[in-house]
Chains A and B, each alone.
Chain A
Amino acid sequence: MSRTQSTLRIGDQPWVKWSLIGLALTLTLLLLVIPLVLIFAQAFSAGPGSLWSNLTDTYTLAAIGLTLFVAALTVPLNLVFGVFLAWLVTRFEFPGRKVLITLIDIPFAVSPVVAGLLYLLLYGSNGWLGGWLADKDIQLMFAWPGIVMVTVFVTCPFVARELIPLMQQQGRDEEEAAVVLGASGWQLFRKVTLPNIQWALLYGVVLTNARAVGEFGAVSVVSGNIRGETNTLPLHVELLYQDYNVAGAFTSASLLACIALLTLLVKSFIEWRQARQRMPVSDQSDSI
């Protein structure tokens, strides 16, 4: 697709090429494919009947519900933040711009357990803010608000990280032209910016969602693990696994694996679209 085959490239002798491909495929099989197969094999190991009863177990359903609820709050919040931050750092020059871009990476570098602990220390009943909230009978930690808060922390870079490189590369010419032509801020965003960034935005949202649904370390610090109340799906997987209910654990795990696969599918689709857009028209007709 990219470069034409030439003899002036290394690694193109058939034996080198095919042994490297073979090695890579073996590694992919061992490291990625078989683990994925195992999840579904274990979920189905006790038969479809027990798969269904595992899925519709009261606590499993409660965990699914809570997980979806947390994602439904987290994703829109980080979507809005990501768009505003990306707009800010790619469309304006101001002192401290680089610092902001570095700060946004913090959640990626911080261990999830440390992230959970930070929130527990501040908002827990021993923390300076938490003590004040406790006097007002507001409990955030060991309850769903805490889970949402740490999930927002852990997932806040994804949308911005997808948008910033793209918006930087596209530059601001189109938008400046629209402003000169008299577009309002909202018109500008909806008619000029959004069409340009929609796929990156979608991918950012999908990534945010995948991580929000799957976050384990940070959530387990602030959750309190109350079955049916503050147990998210990943925590439920852990509980079942520790109860030696392996089939049950893998049933819930397979739901999470499906979300992961869906994420990969969306990513591939978006990349496929972008590759098509980048191809010149003549190439495009050739390839069909």
Chain B
Amino acid sequence: MSRNLVGFASASQNKPGKRVLPGFALSLGISLLFIGLILLLPLTGLIMQTSGMSLAEYWAVITDERVVSSYKVTLWAAAIASLFNGVVGLLLAWVLVRYEFWGKPLVDALMDLPFALPTAVAGITLAALFSEGGWYGQFLTALGIKVAFTPLGIVVAMSFTSLPFVVRTVQPVLEDLAPEDEEAAVSMGAGDWTVFRRILFPALWPALMSGVALSFTRSLGEFGAVIFIAGNMPYVSEITSLMIFVRLQEYDYAAASAIASVVLMASLVLLLAINLWQARYLRRLHGR
């Protein structure tokens, strides 16, 4: 998803005109068939299931106390995780772009590990690391910090799985940044921190925001990594995705669908907002 940043900039350069190239009908047919069957048709099941409920029933299910606690835990954990990733991701992107050091290609390649590693594997690994006797857990326990089986564990899992987003959205922008403004400011005697705050940060800000938003969206939906480390205690460390799962295991399909419709709506709104945001600042970036 981070690729839209770089991707659609040149769209406007394509001249509309006569269709010289073959395959329009074929590729349109296959694409529409696929999108219809794979992406849109399954939505009808959810719509039919929830439309069978009365508004009062629907409202009761999605505002159930346990479900509302799960929204709160999920939102808070995702917010903290994506802010953490904003700071750490900016630092990592900065170091990878601006400095040369031994082992840099390896570090750069490793950045994508959380995307490549299956979430269940990430989940059991983090649970093992942060459990009381684990490699990290033993030190944290000595400090009186408990991570495994607490909401903090959820934050850890979400941070891990969405770490690459900020790095990979900020990195290309930082690479392409024109050096003139920075050079001018430095040669006029501005301090490093001032130059960063007043010149570089404003230029990086849109990409950073996109990365944080993508990280937040991903964290809201994260399931595999979280359930192993969260402890999944109702009202305390139960995420909304798990709530859907629990309702399904109770064979309460209607309740599962109602909660899922809330999650789906939230993620679609976020997706749209991110796309609009990226389109807007791409225009600003290339419109000059």
A172 at the interface (CB under 8 A from B): yes
Contact between A179 and B42 (Cβ–Cβ < 8 Å)? Answer: no
Classify the secondary structure of A's interface with B: helix
Contact between A153 and B38 (Cβ–Cβ < 8 Å)? Answer: yes
Question: Which of B91, B125, B129, B135 touches A24 (beta carbons < 8 Å)?
Answer: B91
CB-CB contacts below 8 Å: A42-66 with B: 42
Question: Which of B22, B121, B218 touches A39 (beta carbons < 8 Å)?
Answer: B121
Contact between A165 and B8 (Cβ–Cβ < 8 Å)? Answer: yes
Q: What's the minimum C-beta distance from A230 to chain B, rounded to whole angstroms?
A: 16
Question: Which of A109, A164, A250 touches B221 (beta carbons < 8 Å)?
Answer: A109
Question: Which of A81, A153, A217, A260 touches B223 (beta carbons < 8 Å)?
Answer: A217
> Closest 10 CB pairs between A and B?
A214-B118, A111-B221, A165-B7, A121-B45, A122-B45, A216-B224, A217-B223, A260-B116, A118-B42, A8-B183
Contact between A161 and B46 (Cβ–Cβ < 8 Å)? Answer: no
Contact between A103 and B39 (Cβ–Cβ < 8 Å)? Answer: yes
Chain B CB within 10 A, most for which of A16, A23, A113: A113
Q: What's the minimum C-beta distance from B220 to chain A, rounded to whole angstroms?
A: 7
Q: What's the minimum C-beta distance from A145 to chain B, rounded to whole angstroms?
A: 13
Residues of B within 8 A of A32 (CB): 110-111, 113-114, 163
B53 at the interface (CB under 8 A from A): no
Contact with B along A170-185 (1 / 0, CB 8 A): 0110011001100011
Contact between B124 and A35 (Cβ–Cβ < 8 Å)? Answer: no
Contact between B221 and A112 (Cβ–Cβ < 8 Å)? Answer: yes
Between-chain CB contacts (< 8 Å), 11 pairs:
A8-B187, A25-B107, A28-B92, A100-B35, A106-B271, A110-B221, A113-B242, A188-B21, A216-B118, A237-B124, A260-B113
Question: Closest residue to A30 on the B side, CB-wise?
Answer: B136
Q: What's the minimum C-beta distance from A258 to chain B, rounded to whole angstroms?
A: 11
Q: What 7 additional pairs, Cβ within 8 angstroms, besides A23-B95, A118-B260?
A: A24-B92, A81-B30, A109-B271, A111-B222, A113-B260, A216-B223, A241-B228
B145 at the interface (CB under 8 A from A): no
Contact with B along A133-166 (1 / 0, CB 8 A): 0000000000000000100110011000110110
Question: Which of A20, A35, A261 touches B129 (beta carbons < 8 Å)?
Answer: A35
Q: With A3-B179, A34-B135, A256-B121 known to touch, is A110 a contact of B253 (CB < 8 Å)?
A: no
Residues of B within 8 A of A23 (CB): 91, 95
Q: What's the minimum C-beta distance from A204 to chain B, rounded to whole angstroms?
A: 11
A253 at the interface (CB under 8 A from B): yes
Residues of A within 8 A of B43 (CB): 118
A76 at the interface (CB under 8 A from B): no
Contact between B39 and A156 (Cβ–Cβ < 8 Å)? Answer: yes
Q: With A172-B14, A214-B117 known to touch, is A165 a contact of B3 (CB < 8 Å)?
A: yes
In this complex, the interface size class of chain A, counting residues with CB under 8 Å from chain B, is 35 or more
Chain A CB within 10 A, most for which of B97, B120, B179: B120
Q: With A8-B182, A88-B28 known to touch, is A253 a contact of B124 (CB < 8 Å)?
A: yes
B68 at the interface (CB under 8 A from A): no
* Chain A residues near B (Cβ < 8 Å): 1-3, 6-13, 16-17, 20-21, 23-25, 27-28, 30-36, 38-39, 42, 80-81, 84-85, 87-88, 90-94, 100-114, 117-124, 126-129, 149, 152-153, 156-157, 161-162, 164-165, 168-169, 171-172, 175-176, 179-180, 184-185, 188, 207, 210, 213-217, 220-221, 234-235, 237-238, 241, 246, 249-250, 253, 256-257, 259-261, 263-265, 267-268
Q: With A28-B107, A106-B271 known to touch, is A2 a contact of B175 (CB < 8 Å)?
A: yes
Question: Closest residue to B1 on the A side, CB-wise?
Answer: A108
Residues of A within 8 A of B233 (CB): none
Residues of B within 8 A of A31 (CB): 88, 159-160, 163
Question: Which of A38, A176, A185, A207 touches B20 (beta carbons < 8 Å)?
Answer: A176
> What's the Cα separation between A210 and B21 when bound, in Å?
33
Residues of B within 8 A of A221 (CB): 245, 248
> What's the Cα separation between A234 and B123 when bound, in Å?
11
> What's the Cα separation between A93 and B16 when bound, in Å?
6
Q: What's the minimum C-beta distance from A265 to chain B, rounded to whole angstroms?
A: 8
Q: What's the minimum C-beta distance from A84 to chain B, rounded to whole angstroms?
A: 4
Residues of B within 8 A of A92 (CB): 19, 21, 24, 27-28
Q: What's the minimum C-beta distance from A1 to chain B, rounded to whole angstroms?
A: 8
CB-CB contacts below 8 Å: B230-274 with A: 241-242, 244-245, 248, 253, 256-257, 260, 263-264, 267-268, 270-272
B275 at the interface (CB under 8 A from A): yes
Question: Which of A120, A185, A238 touches B22 (beta carbons < 8 Å)?
Answer: A185
Q: What's the minimum C-beta distance from B262 to chain A, rounded to whole angstroms?
A: 10
